[in-house]
Amino acid sequence: MRMQFLVMVGLLFTAFSKAQDCPAVIEKVGEIAGDCQSIQLTALHDALDRDFLYVAAKSGGLLVYDIQDPDHPQLISTIPVAALSGLEVMALEQQGYFLYLALGNHFGTAIQASGLAVIGMENPSNPEVRDVWMDDSSRGGGGVVKIQANYAFLGGMINGIYLIDISSKDSLRLISQFKPSIDFPVPSPPNTKLYNARGIALRDNLAFVCFDAGGLRVVDYSDPAQPVEIGHYSNPALSVPVNLPRAYNHVLLNGDLAYVSVDYCGVEILDVRNPRSPVLLGWWNPYHCPGNNWFSSPSHTNEMAFDPEGQILFIATGKSDLIALDVRDPAHPDSCVGYGGVGNGIGTWGISRYKSNLYLGYLCTLGIPFTSNYSGTHLLKYAAPSTIRQEVYVEPLKAYYNPIAREIQVDWPADWWNRPVSIYLIDPLGRMSFFWDGRVQPDQALTLEDRSTEGIYFLMVRSQSGPPGYAKVWIPSHR
12 pLDDT more than 80:
no
9 pLDDT more than 60:
no
**pLDDT for res 3:** 29
121 pLDDT more than 60:
yes
Pairing of strands 62-66, 455-463: unpaired
47's CB contacts (< 8 A; 6+ apart) are: 94, 95, 96, 354
Domain residue extents for the chain: 22-386, 391-475
Confidence grade of residue 451 (pLDDT, cut at 50, 70, 90): low
**pLDDT for res 456:** 75
59 pLDDT more than 80:
yes
Q: Which is the CATH superfamily of the domain at 22-386?
A: YVTN repeat-like/Quinoprotein amine dehydrogenase (2.130.10.10)
| Model pLDDT for residues 414-440, shown as the tens digit of each residue | 888 888 887 878 766 556 677 777 788
Mean pLDDT of the chain: 87
Q: Give the 3-state secondary structure of the chain.
A: CCCCCCCECCCCHHHCCCCCCCCCCEEEEEEEECECCECCCEEEECCCCCCEEEEECECCCEEEEECCCCCCCEEEEEECHHHHCCCCEEEEEEECCEEEEEECCCCCCCCCEEEEEEEECCCCCCCEEEEEEEEEEEECCCCEEEEECCEEEEECECCCEEEEECCCCCCCEEEEEECCCCCCCCCCCCCHHHCCECEEEEECCEEEEECECCCEEEEECCCCCCCEEEEEECCHHHHCCCCCCCCECEEEEECCEEEEECECCCEEEEECCCCCCCEEEEEECCCCCCCCCCCCCCCCECCEEEECCCCEEEEECHHHCEEEEECCCCCCCEEEEEECCHHHCCEEEEEEEECCEEEEEEECEECCCCEECCCEEEEEEECCHHHCCCCCCCEECEEEEECCCCEEEEECCHHHCCCEEEEEEECCCCCEEEEEEEECCCCCEEECCCECCCEEEEEEEEECCCCCEEEEEEECCEC
CB atoms < 10 A from the CB of 319, how many? 22
**pLDDT for res 428:** 65
Residue type (1 letter), 90: M
| Model pLDDT for residues 79-92, shown as the tens digit of each residue | 999 999 999 999 99
Residues 179-198 have a mean pLDDT of: 95
Q: Which residues pair with 91 in a beta bridge?
A: 102
**pLDDT for res 383:** 79
| Model pLDDT for residues 226-274, shown as the tens digit of each residue | 999 999 999 999 887 678 889 999 999 999 999 999 999 999 999 999 9
450 pLDDT more than 60:
yes
2 pLDDT more than 50:
no
Q: Are 360 and 372 in contact (CB under 8 A)?
A: no
**pLDDT for res 457:** 80
**pLDDT for res 360:** 98
Cα dihedral 455→301→148→88 (10° resolution): -170
CB atoms < 10 A from the CB of 33, how many? 12
| Model pLDDT for residues 263-319, shown as the tens digit of each residue | 999 999 999 999 999 999 999 998 888 877 788 888 899 999 999 888 899 999 999
Query: What span, in angstroms and rounded, lies between the C-alpha atoms of 350 and 198?
Result: 12
Low-confidence winner among 75-79, 213-217, 331-335 (lowest mean pLDDT): 331-335
**pLDDT for res 432:** 65
**pLDDT for res 258:** 97
Q: 280: burial class by Cβ within 10 Å (0-12, 13-18, 19+)? A: middle
- The model carries a pTM of 0.78
113 pLDDT more than 90:
yes
Residues 88-102 have a mean pLDDT of: 98
Residues 383-396 have a mean pLDDT of: 51
Beginning with the edge strand found earlier in the chain, give each strand of the sheet holding 420-426 in spatial order.
Answer: 395-396, 469-475, 455-463, 420-426, 432-439
Query: What span, in angstroms and rounded, lies between the C-alpha atoms of 101 and 42?
Result: 11
End-to-end CA distance of the chain: 25
Query: What span, in angstroms and rounded, lies between the C-alpha atoms of 62 and 209?
Result: 25
395 pLDDT more than 80:
no
**pLDDT for res 233:** 98
Residues 103-108 have a mean pLDDT of: 94
| Model pLDDT for residues 358-374, shown as the tens digit of each residue | 999 999 987 778 888 89
Q: Are 353 and 304 in contact (CB under 8 A)?
A: no
Which value, in Å, is the radius of gyration of the alpha carbons in the chain?
Answer: 23
**pLDDT for res 8:** 27
Residues 327-341 have a mean pLDDT of: 88
pLDDT above 70 coverage of the chain, percent: 89
The phi and psi torsions of 113 (rounded to 5 degrees) equal -65, 160
Confidence grade of residue 448 (pLDDT, cut at 50, 70, 90): confident
162's CB contacts (< 8 A; 6+ apart) are: 114, 116, 135, 152, 153, 154, 156, 174, 176, 177
Does the domain made of 391-475 have the CATH classification 1.10.10.60? Answer: no
Of 379 and 387, the structure prediction assigns the larger pLDDT to 379
The phi and psi torsions of 232 (rounded to 5 degrees) equal -155, 165
**pLDDT for res 101:** 98
Confidence grade of residue 21 (pLDDT, cut at 50, 70, 90): low
Residues 139-153 have a mean pLDDT of: 97
Q: Are 201 and 259 in contact (CB under 8 A)?
A: no
154 pLDDT more than 60:
yes
